[in-house]
Amino acid sequence: MISACDDRSGVAMKMLIVAATTALVVSGGDVALAQSAMLRDSTGQIAGRPISDTMMLVVVRPGVIAPALIRPVVDADGRVASGLATWAAGGSVLFTSDDCTSGAHVYSTSHAGVRATSQLETATGTTLYVGAIGNTRTVPVRSILYSSGCAPVALQQSGLVPVDAIVNLTTTYPPPLSIQ
């Protein structure tokens, strides 16, 4: 038995702290840290929670949470800024109208339990198109919206879900973004 007056009590206490810290890390202390991490926008508002290094879960509207992608901020020399990100873009949205104005659909996702989404860079910022919850369908597509604009097409496409919500990520959660 080690008493408080014993020289070995400091060593025993250090060993206890090391053991407790090791147990915390091994038992999921890193999970607790990840769960407390938040994606914040330039105003300090919470924009979402990270589920990977580039995928965030954002609140689109009450009751609608969807994945949105981020990318690093780079300087003029192509170097990545530390701790800063912006919204990624590069997807497409398929429409049943000839002019990309109605009947919006996005491709289904392979990520279990999250909504299908597509992000496009538009003149007003990065826009997130959020698919409805449910099974995919085959749709007569008459136009496709890309970051470069609307392109008329005439095809049948399977694996699509109708768009349930649209949010301009740039104006709702202005970059730069940072995980804190």
Are 45 and 172 in contact, with CB atoms under 8 Å apart?
Answer: no
| Single-letter residue type at 152 | P
| The pLDDT of residue 108 | 94
Q: How far apart are CA 101 and CA 93, in angstroms?
A: 11
What's the pLDDT tens digit per position in 68-113?
A: 999 999 999 999 999 999 999 999 999 999 999 999 999 998 888 9
pTM of the model: 0.80
| The pLDDT of residue 19 | 40
Among 14-28, 58-72, 154-168, which stretch is predicted with the lowest mean pLDDT? 14-28
pLDDT of residue 10 exceeding 90, the answer is: no
| The pLDDT of residue 5 | 47
pLDDT of residue 11 exceeding 80, the answer is: no
Are 163 and 132 in contact, with CB atoms under 8 Å apart?
Answer: yes
Q: Closest by alpha carbon to 129, among 94, 97, 166? A: 166
What's the pLDDT tens digit per position in 144-170?
A: 999 999 999 999 999 999 999 999 999
State the average pLDDT for the chain.
86
Are 69 and 119 in contact, with CB atoms under 8 Å apart?
Answer: yes
- How large is the average pLDDT for residues 1-22? 44
Q: How far apart are CA 180 and CA 178, in angstroms?
A: 6
| The pLDDT of residue 34 | 54
| The pLDDT of residue 20 | 40
| The pLDDT of residue 32 | 52
